[in-house]
């Protein structure tokens, strides 16, 4: 999301089109008509599915197994991200006008980034755990412990939060002349910061 909004802002700032021409283009009408409803549908379906998964794990008898620990954390990460995505849809519906203030501008985007990284690496751990369970059955017993899984999940959440620091630092509500509105964008203090953040996203995300 950081890259998309940033690139969109750059394109708009470099464009010679006036705001009405930008928002009256056929491409924009297509985006405006299709993307927000699609996001809302995905959010609704995803929230229901992930809440169901968490409820099943929560009300089951006995302690969570190692795969369930990873899957439960993955469902939680997906749920938090899905709750934040409607703000993205409303941002498009409002023609990139951000009426929710700078605090939510940072919180929403940081939450999406944190849970994006967490979801990716939780899914990686699910696959690693399946490999250990099916291929290295005897050797992996010490590795496949509930305590280890909890520590790994904690580290992955912490890693996601660290990866969200640039977004928390550089996200701001700023007036965009070509949009004639205050938008929630990434404002880098220099090109080197921009390059470093993009490399972080490309290499680790």
- Residue 50 CA to residue 65 CA, distance in Å, equals 18
Under the banding of pLDDT at 50, 70 and 90, the label for residue 158 is: very high
Under the banding of pLDDT at 50, 70 and 90, the label for residue 140 is: low
More confident site: 65 or 178 = 65
**Token pair recorded at residue 5:** 């909004």
Residue 28: inside a domain: yes
Under the banding of pLDDT at 50, 70 and 90, the label for residue 22 is: low
Q: How many domains does the chain have?
A: 1
Residue 44: inside a domain: yes
**Token pair recorded at residue 188:** 């880098």
Residue 100: inside a domain: yes
Residue 204: inside a domain: no
Domain of residue 32 covers 2-199
- Residue 41 CA to residue 38 CA, distance in Å, equals 5
Q: HSE of 78 in the Cβ direction (CA atoms, 13 Å)?
A: 23
pLDDT for the residue 83: 92
Residue 29: inside a domain: yes
More confident site: 190 or 86 = 86
pLDDT reading at 201 higher than 80: no
Under the banding of pLDDT at 50, 70 and 90, the label for residue 24 is: low
More confident site: 44 or 7 = 44
Angstrom CA distances, 139 to 133, 134, 144, 195, stand at: 9, 11, 10, 43
pLDDT for the residue 31: 79
Residue 58: inside a domain: yes
Of 9-23, 39-53, 56-70, 109-123, where does mean pLDDT reach its minimum? 9-23
pLDDT for the residue 177: 82
CB proximity list for 112: less than 8 A, separation 6 or greater: 1, 81, 84, 85, 88
Residue 129: inside a domain: yes
Determine the Cα angle at 38 with ends 37 and 42, to 5°: 115
Domain CATH code at residue 20: 1.20.1070.10
- Residue 160 CA to residue 135 CA, distance in Å, equals 29
Residue 205: inside a domain: no
Provide mean pLDDT across the span 97-121.
91
Q: What average pLDDT does the chain have?
A: 82
């Amino acid at each position: 999301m950081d890259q998309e909004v940033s690139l969109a802002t750059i394109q708009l700032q470099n464009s010679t089109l006036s705001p009405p021409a930008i928002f009256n283009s056929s491409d924009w009408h297509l985006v405006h008509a299709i993307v927000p409803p699609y996001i809302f549908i995905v959010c609704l379906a995803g929230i229901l599915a992930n809440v169901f998964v968490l409820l099943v794990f929560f009300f089951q008898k006995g302690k969570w197994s190692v795969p369930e620990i990873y899957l439960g954390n993955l469902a939680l990460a997906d749920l938090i991200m899905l709750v934040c995505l409607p703000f993205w849809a409303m941002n498009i519906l409002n023609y990139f006008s951000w009426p929710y203030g700078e605090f939510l501008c940072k919180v929403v985007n940081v939450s999406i980034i944190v849970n994006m990284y967490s979801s990716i690496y939780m899914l990686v751990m699910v696959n690693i755990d399946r490999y250990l369970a099916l291929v290295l059955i005897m050797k992996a017993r010490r590795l496949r412990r509930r305590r280890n899984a909890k520590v790994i999940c904690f580290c992955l959440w912490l890693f996601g939060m660290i990866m969200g620091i640039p977004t928390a630092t550089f996200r701001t509500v700023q007036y965009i002349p070509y949009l004639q509105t205050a938008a929630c964008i990434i404002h880098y203090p220099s090109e080197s910061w921009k390059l470093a953040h993009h490399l972080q996203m490309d290499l680790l995300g």
